Structure 1
Amino acid sequence: MPLSASLARGVARTTPGILHARTVTGDVTAPPRPGLTVRFGRGEKPDVDLGVGIDDLRVSRRHGELTYRAGQWWLRNTGQQLVRLPRGRMMHLGTEPIPLATGYTPLFVKGSGYREHLVELYVASHDDQGPVSRRRAETARPETWALDDDERLLLVVLGQRYLLYEEDPRPLTYATAAKQFAYRRPDAGWNERKIEYRVEAVRRRLHRTGFRYPLIHDKSQGRPGDNSEPPPT
């Protein structure tokens, strides 16, 4: 069942499960009605409800769809190009539909060359009213974690390729970091053993604070690596 403008009008923004979708060329709002389908792609209405990549011939005229069933919105790729989801998850034409979680989900439609076309999705939960304008609100401060001066210097040295925004960055090995410390701070005693000890101490401390990314290695796999091995191919 395709989405029509009349279906979108008059939907209460507080309805749980309501879908908000937008791209640079438009937006749609859809109620959580069983069997309702919202289609997006390069084509025009009535073939699609939301235009995306409208000037990019690599984007299919019907590139994807969202269907409400079993109490959730289900995303399916119906186009020739990949759809990229958060955490690097990819969907192709044969991928089984996946359910959207409540809240915000960005997806990117692969286009020509390096082009990727953003589709922003938001599924309202029971206790929110969907995306609202916050232009006058104070900017949220980034989350930070306490580090002493030595820890901060150590992480800067190990992660300098990321801080320089190099392409495909990787951390320095402990051996390489120790050589840099020997040159810049020869009296500080930063050898490989000390670097490993301090890194593991930071890992354990941040892990206890509920840091969102995994920091603790599986001990059954042996001694944690320090990027000495080449990346997997």
Structure 2
Amino acid sequence: MTLSIPGSSSKVTLLPKDARSLAGGLPPAAPGTLFVLGVNGGMSVAPDAGFRVVFGRNDPAVHVCVGADDPHVSREHGYITYERSGWVVDNVGRMPICFPGPRLLLSGHREHLPVAYTPLFIVGPRREHLLEVRVAGRASTNPASAYELNTIDPDAHSLSPVEKLVLVCLSQRYLRSDPQPQPLTWGQVASELAEVRPTEEWGVRRLGHVVGKVRRRLSPITPGLLEEEVPPPVGNALNHNLITALLVSGTLTPADLALLEG
């Protein structure tokens, strides 16, 4: 069965496959408008459209496709509906949906979406699949200016050149889209940076200090970056959470890998 789009095109609009990431901003939209983007495009839905957005891997039978080639993702994995309290996502699939933080939305559970950009990951045993969601805030007074904002990322965090170099090296497996990325070890980072910038000292203690300083600076606005916030064993969790936050905010992008070319 192929799902249909309501007749009111002004309230439900399709987003093309090549639509830019929702992390970079939105075109002019009424407050409360929902934007959902997957691998093959997506849609925007006005809060009063009375429309339920269905997502999953069965591309012909859902509104937004995610994990099309991964059988661990359910054919109809979840849906997003508008209620009086706002937009709500329901997980009806087998695998959990990971919210930033991270918070897991288990099968049969539901969660309210904030008026913000929210990257959702369907977590499988081998891969994670991104579903971008964003709820528009207050309307822009200058639509033309709002459209221009799509070319920048207002949520990016400020990093010094040394911080960015170290973090790009630490997170390069994520930036290269490895199927099961993990942060590099401090020893691996030290070895690589010694080749990239051999005239500088890249000891393990310095690397830990640089990354720890960024984690502490972002911890007031990003949970999961301090040791007391993560249940033991901590392992790579702190660096993983930091890298995820930097990727989600657009602070680090695959283009930054050029820094490792020396």
The TM-score normalised by the length of structure 2 is 0.51
Q: Which runs of 4+ in 1 moved over 4 A?
A: 131-135, 137-142, 160-171
Mark the CA change 1:23 to 1:161 in structure 2 (over 3 Å): closer, same or farther.
closer
CA-to-aligned-CA distance 1:96-133 (integer Å, 9 cap, x gap): x11111121110112452x211111111112347x857
Per the alignment, do residues 117 and 162 of structure 1 end up closer, same or farther by CA in structure 2, a change over 3 Å counting?
Answer: closer
Distance 1:117 1:39, change over 3 A: same
In structure 1, what is the equivalent of residue 93 of structure 2? Answer: 79
SS at match of 2:55: strand
Aligned twin of 1:53:
67
What root-mean-square deviation, in Å, do the aligned CA atoms of Structure 1 and Structure 2 show?
Answer: 4.4
Specify every segment of 5 or more residues in structure 1 that has no aligned partner in the other structure, as ranges.
146-151, 172-184, 186-198, 216-224
* Partner SS for 2:6: helix
Residues 28-49 of structure 1, C-alpha deviations (whole Å, 9 max, x = no match): 111102753111001244x421
Higher helix share: 2
Quickly say closer, same or farther: Cα 1:91–1:7, change in 2 above 3 A. Answer: farther
Match of 1:37 in 2: 52
Tell me: CA distance 1:120–1:164, structure 2 relative to 1, closer, same or farther (3 Å).
closer
Query: For residue 121 of structure 1, what is the aligned residue in structure 2?
Result: 133
Whole-angstrom distance in 2 between the partners of 1:87 and 1:8:
36
Write out aligned runs for 1:57-72 (5 A).
57-72=71-86
The 2-side partners of 1:53 and 1:8 are apart by 29
CA-to-partner distance for each residue in 1:152-175, whole Å, 9 max, x for gaps? 9xx9xxxx899645946799xxxx
**SS in structure 2 at match of 1:67:** strand
The alpha carbon displacement at 1:7 in A equals 4.8
- The CA distance in 2 between the partners of 1:40 and 1:15, in whole Å, is 23
CA distance in 2: counterparts of 1:109 and 1:82, whole angstroms: 6
CA distance in 2, matches of 1:42, 1:106: 17
**Alignment check: 8 A CA contact 1:41 1:62 kept:** yes
Offset, 1:55: 1.7
Q: How many residues end up aligned between the 2 structures?
A: 176
Cα distance change of structure 1 residues 213 and 170 upon mapping to structure 2, 3 Å threshold: farther
Amino acid at match of 1:77: N
- How much has 1:6 moved relative to structure 2? 3.4
Instruction: Kindly name which structure, 1 or 2, has the bigger radius of gyration based on alpha carbons.
Output: 1
CA contact (8 A) 1:8 1:28 kept: no
Higher relative contact order (CA 8 A, sep 6+): 2
TM-score by length of 1: 0.57
Aligned identity (percent) is 29
